A = this chain, B = another copy of it.
């Protein structure tokens, strides 16, 4: 399977490196507007066509799939052109700048019988796979809440705010784990430097009293990547910065055991062992790209497909709307 890659900035080289080592795939062409990016690409891969012209890559007849690794505001045009030229699309998250764009791309791919995969890399990590398995097996019981903090010092983006930059990770993981349709979104935040929010908070309401919260911040002196997930039976902490023991499951719980009238709730705390499962030690991006090649080859729809990307974009759109009113419930 032959790939063309559009965008060789921060993330593009990882895509190319993995596609190059993957059995059954290779990169034939790389496009980037920046001469220094092109020089880096050409030096690392002397045998690959490197060009400033994305259209040249997208229309090349030898190419089967396009990886769109460019800024979000370019996704729609590039992916659309790729699909129109009969190419499968692997596209960076967030999928598109608007839900309307995402819907159009999904329909186009359907009509053309092509695959879209949105690069929600975290879904392929050992940690998220293991957590998903635990939830699916009922180890946590009914979910109560999902609470993620993703903060560090860094202001990489000039065209989008911190929610569009960092929250797609959490939204895609949350969507994958909770497996329910969110009802509404509330977002608050503030920008201190260039007009875009650099500190933001997002609450997502789900049916059955499940609530999710995401704390993202470009102005934190320390890096935090911690998610708490509370369930009726057990609770877990996922700290992605731990070298080992990233996921810890606590045999703890709270239950109302006896309720004699509204003023006599008997709250029962349960506290037991903690357990940290060994996780698969695989490079998530390699797993994901290999899965993309499999899906395309077998004509199988990936679970991180266009609609999965669209669900994230819809939540981001709702969050932007809520943010603009300084926080207010926006129904989905």
Q: Report Cα–Cα, A55/B217, bound state, in Å.
A: 51
* Interface membership of A117, Cβ < 8 A: no
Distance between A289 CB and nearest chain B CB, rounded to angstroms: 21
**How many copies of this chain are found per oligomer?**
4
Binding stretch for chain B, among A142-150, A165-173, A304-312? A142-150
* Given A155-B267, A235-B220, A201 and B201 contact (CB-CB distance below 8 Å): yes
* Given A188-B213, A217-B145, A326-B205, A158 and B265 contact (CB-CB distance below 8 Å): yes
Interface centre among A210, A211, A241 (most CB of B within 10 A): A211
* Interface membership of A107, Cβ < 8 A: no
Contacts A/B (CB < 8 Å), 13 sampled: A144-B192, A153-B252, A153-B269, A155-B254, A155-B267, A199-B211, A201-B213, A203-B327, A213-B215, A222-B228, A244-B274, A245-B274, A251-B278
Residues of B within 8 A of A11 (CB): none
Encoded as 1 (CB less than 8 Å from any B CB) or 0, chain A from 233 to 245 comes to 0111100010111
Q: Report Cα–Cα, A155/B248, bound state, in Å.
A: 22
The answer to whether A190 touches B209 (Cβ under 8 A) is: yes
Distance between A141 CB and nearest chain B CB, rounded to angstroms: 11
Give chain A's interface secondary structure class.
strand
Given A145-B190, A199-B213, A322-B327, 10 other A-B contacts at CB below 8 A? A155-B269, A186-B328, A188-B211, A190-B210, A193-B255, A198-B254, A201-B201, A203-B327, A217-B228, A274-B275
